[in-house]
Amino acid sequence: MGDMATPPRFISHRLSRWAPWLPAIAYVALLLPLEALGRGGGGEHYSRPSSGSGGGRGGGDGDGVALWVVYQLFSLVWRYPKVMLPMLCVGGVVYWLYRRNLHPDATTKRALEQREAYQRTQVSQRDVQGWVSALRLKDPAFALEPMLEKTKWLFMELQQAWFLRDMTPVRPFLSDATFQRFGVQLELMRAQGVRDAITDFEVLDLQLIGLDQSPWFDSIHVRVHARMRDTDVPVSFTDAQATEAARKAPSEAFTEVWTFVRKPGAQTRIGADLFQGKCPNCGAPFNGGAANSCEFCGAVVNSGNYDWTLSEITQGIEHAPYHKTVDGLMQAREADPALNLEMLEDRASLLFWKWIDAQSRRDMKPLAKVARADLVQGLESELEALGRQGRRRMFLECAVGSADVRAFQVDPRGDDVAHVEIRWSARMGIGAIKEPPSSRATVPQRHIFTLTRKHGAKTNTANGMSTDRCPQCNAPLTNSAATDCEYCGTPLATGERDWVLAAARTFEAWNADEDMRFRALPPRRAAPRAEDAVMDVQERQRLLYMMAAIAAADGEVTSAERKLLKLCSERWGVAWDNVELALSMGPQLFDRLATKGSPEAEVFLRNIVEMALVDGRIDRKERRMLERAAAHLGLQDRLASLIDGR
């Protein structure tokens, strides 16, 4: 009867018939869940046994089970070779296909990132028409297609200049900070004995994707979708050798967002601008030059006062347009109505690259013109101490993700202060003077640059985005040892006329300052927002790498700590290989680590707690992770109150 129970003898017969196949089926069944559990999404918490390249991890019950399974498989292969060997081959193929589909290789990953970048920079045609119309209200001659053609031309010229390691031909089109960036990056590569070999670069698509307007600057954002062949070669390679090496590299597409700025009221001069080799102010022939000034009318051509100037290049996947609110900005503008974020952030970027350059080349002279003497002396002492040990700070593949003004402090009786957050990344470390950086990972970094300027000083809008100049006479700054302008004698590093660098601190050190009026800690138990650090991929990477570096600082990392770090890497979506690299490099992966029991350490622990609370709860494994971190930071007694939001 159909509803009767199956006879036991029939079950026994079926089991004996399929017995040789069961181990292979079990083998495949054991493999597939391990990979499926590794897929994270939606903020859900997943866990899986350790796998990958992590040498030295602890064993435990999972390893014993795995050995038992392997033993049983070999036993069954010995007993049933004709059945088991084919089944193992099939299982291996299925496992490989699962790995291929669930863990895309580098090419697939890049393709997915490019797709995301392209989608994040999509805009409607109605938006584009609205932005063009807004620009034409002030500049009737503005047209989108010629602007996109100029962007394409500049892209091609910039790649060629980069390949030839001489950015002079495109300097008139770049803000001072952007030009400084390329110069420092080339110098860092040269110091490491490599050069970038590129070829077959072409622009696939150009699109206006944004317009920001303020009383001081109009900013347009252009998406550049392009492709090229790119590889690193020894610095001794000739241009021909580098090109030949690049031709062997795969052609890869990428998406960037180029930001151009121009002063409101500036007019399009058809046939009489820099792209035609003419001064954008007076139309006279312009042949370049170190001063970037027209020899006829004196206009600074890369200031943005007369024509569009390239002020920023960001990766499409990082492009996130938003409107900033800055504490203290309105109060600061009461004394300086022309104060604007565009120029200040460009100035901060310029100071950042001079700060990196000073450490890389161990040459303080360019930095001494734009930074307080005590900062320069302190940095010089640090580098001298490393030099006596035969060591140095090293940077490679250094890049700025963003420069955002966080807050102003106004002091009518002294100096005004601006705090600018710089998010950057680099392959970096501290090692022997003649050795390359041992880090293969590009590590996210987060610093607050504190700039000071005498209260009452005014923003020099005549310089515009040309921020590497004397605030008195507009002469370009040189790399000499003099801290006064070599043309007019104005002191440059005192902050009397322009913003100078007073401090460069890690985010935690700045946020822990007891005298800081503007704190950036997230609200207690607040719901996560898209702009919070918790939701930022690079910030998650930075926090986890720092956790690994702190764990390795005492010279020993237990198997339990590795498992907890592996848990974080899975839940936070950070590659485990890079976490292991952070473990191997330890403290040298960062400029400095928080001192145990310090307010800076508490800020770091608070950020980790907020990360764990992003889904509104802390489970048992997360609590163990937090307890380990608190022990390393010397803050065991503060953990409970931080979790409770006190």
Question: For position 588, what pLDDT does the model report?
Answer: 64
In sequence order, the 6+-apart residues with CB closer than 8 A to the CB of 643 are: 609, 613, 618, 626
Say if 33 falls within a structural domain: no
Please report which helix (H) or strand (E) contains residue 284, including its range. Answer: none
d(CA 181, CA 397): 11
**Does a structural domain hold residue 563?**
yes
Is 260 found in the same domain as 150? yes
Burial of 9 (0-12, 13-18, 19+ CB in 10 A): exposed
Residue 37: inside a domain: no
Q: Check whether residue 504 and residue 617 sit in a common domain.
A: no
Given this model, what pLDDT does residue 531 score?
38
* Residue 49 confidence (pLDDT) above 60: no
For 249, the enclosing helix (H) or strand (E) is: none
Residue 526 domain-assigned (yes or no): no
Range of the domain at 499: 324-520
Is the model's pLDDT at 645 over the cut of 80? no
Cβ atoms of residues 425 and 398 within 8 Å: yes
CATH number for position 161: 3.10.450.240
Instruction: Show which of 499, 520, 541 is a domain's final residue.
Output: 520
Q: What average pLDDT does this structure show over 129-140?
A: 95
Same domain, yes or no: 499 and 615:
no
Residue 310 sits in the same domain as residue 372: no
According to the model, what pLDDT value does residue 217 have?
Answer: 93
Distance of CA 221 to the CA centre of its chain: 19
The answer to whether residues 345 and 258 belong to one domain is: no
Residue 316 lies in a domain: yes
- Based on the fold, state whether residues 483 and 621 are members of the same structural domain: no
Quick: pLDDT tens for 489-525.
889 999 999 999 999 998 888 887 744 444 443 333 3
- Contact partners, residue 25, CB within 8 Å, separation at least 6: 87
Answer whether residue 93 is part of any domain: yes
Residue 171 is classified by DSSP as: G
Is the residue at 99 inside a domain? yes
Outline where 362-405 has alpha helix (H). 365-368, 373-388
CATH code, domain carrying 366: 3.10.450
Q: What is the pLDDT of residue 646?
A: 54
Q: Is pLDDT larger for residue 593 or for residue 162?
A: 162
Tell whether 95 and 115 lie within a shared domain. no
Residue 632, amino acid: H
Domain-terminating residue out of 321, 343, 376: 321
pTM of this structure: 0.72
Residue 7 maps to a domain: no
Q: At what angle do helices 61-79 and 22-36 cross, to 10 degrees?
A: 150
- Judge if 444 and 329 occupy the same domain: yes
Query: Tokens representing 3?
Result: 């509803």
Last residue of a domain, one of 463, 492, 520: 520
Q: Are residues 201 and 212 in the same domain?
A: yes
- Two structure tokens written together for 121: 């920079």
> Burial code of 434-472, b = ≥16 C-beta within 10 A, e = fewer?
eeebbbebbbbbbbbbbbbbebebebbbebbbbbbbbbb
How many domains does the chain fold into?
4
Q: Please give the single-letter amino acid code of residue 514.
A: E
Are 426 and 458 found together in one domain?
A: yes
pLDDT value, residue 587: 65
Q: Given pLDDT bands bounded at 50, 70 and 90, which one contains residue 288?
A: confident
> Model confidence over 324-348: pLDDT tens digits?
678 899 999 999 999 999 899 999 9
Q: Are residues 360 and 386 located together in one domain of the fold?
A: yes
- Please check whether residues 119 and 151 belong to one and the same domain: yes
Structure tokens at 633: 């930071």
